[in-house]
């Protein structure tokens, strides 16, 4: 239950969690500083590149205002490496009872992904009621989350996948959505160009999105 409270607290800090793909760890601190300056302090660095773990460590060391987690964690080796690198929370694309149990044992808040009611029930049975809904747009989007709200009123979600600044308000208006994951607030081309000013401007737009008004 403590871990559930921890992940909810992390997700509640802003309406958007930037999902970052960082190819060059040298850019990580600048990206994190730009996002924090724009009002987004909870950051997910995906383990899709060789630089990801170094990027997490660099952010932890240089940007204390950021809360940095590892995303796309799919096995125990990645989990351990992410925690060693300094990850403050773990995001996985799907639900694995063994992976979540290992994360809890390590004392790190877990945000596993679900796309169906059956997966959701498995997560609930393990005591997890704060979940990533992934891939959000492809798995039914806003309509699916509305449908899940009635049988699972205690569950809160961070939908991720195909969501941009235009679609985000529809998700954030749902009572069972804490925040949305979004890659478009720190586009790969802006990271590669070290265009941190553009990233800050995008972050400000995202941080200003309203929450809790059903649409």
42 near 12, Cβ under 8 Å? no
Q: Is 132 a catalytic residue?
A: yes
Burial letters 90-128, b for 16+ CB under 10 A, else e: bbbbebbeebbebbbebebbbbbbbbeeeebebbeebeb
Q: Please tell me which residue in 26, 119, 132, 166 is annotated as part of the active site.
A: 132
Rounded-to-integer distance, Cα 60 and Cα 160, Å: 23
Q: Please give the Cα distance from 183 to 17 (Å, whole number).
A: 8
Joined together, the tokens standing for residue 174 give: 């749902």
Provide CB contacts within 8 A for 11, sequence distance 6+: 17, 42, 111, 130, 156, 158, 178, 179
Q: Compute the Cα dihedral for 202, 207, 212, 213 and give only its sign.
A: negative
Of the residues 26, 44, 119, 137, only one is catalytic, namely 44
C-alpha 25: how far from its chain's center? 19
E strand or H helix at 46: strand 42-46
137 is catalytic: no
State the catalytic residues. 44, 132
């Amino acid at each position: 239950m403590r871990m559930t409270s921890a992940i909810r607290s992390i997700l509640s800090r802003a309406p958007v969690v930037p999902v970052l793909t960082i190819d060059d760890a040298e850019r990580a601190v600048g990206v994190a500083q730009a996002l924090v300056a724009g009002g987004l302090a909870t950051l997910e660095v995906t383990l899709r590149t060789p630089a990801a773990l170094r990027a997490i460590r660099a952010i932890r060391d240089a940007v204390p205002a950021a809360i940095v987690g590892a995303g796309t964690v799919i096995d125990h080796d990645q989990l351990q490496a992410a925690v060693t690198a300094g990850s403050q929370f773990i995001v996985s694309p799907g639900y694995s009872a063994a992976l979540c149990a290992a994360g809890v044992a390590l004392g790190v808040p877990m945000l596993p992904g679900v796309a169906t009611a059956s997966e959701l029930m498995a997560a609930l049975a393990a005591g997890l009621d704060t979940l990533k809904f992934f891939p959000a747009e492809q798995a039914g989007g806003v309509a699916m989350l509305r449908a899940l709200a009635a049988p699972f009123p205690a569950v809160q979600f961070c939908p991720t996948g195909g969501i941009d600044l235009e679609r985000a308000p529809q998700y954030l208006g749902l009572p069972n959505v804490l925040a949305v994951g979004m890659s478009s607030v720190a586009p790969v081309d802006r990271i590669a160009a070290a265009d941190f000013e553009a990233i800050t401007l995008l972050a400000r737009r995202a941080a200003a999105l309203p929450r809790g008004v059903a649409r």
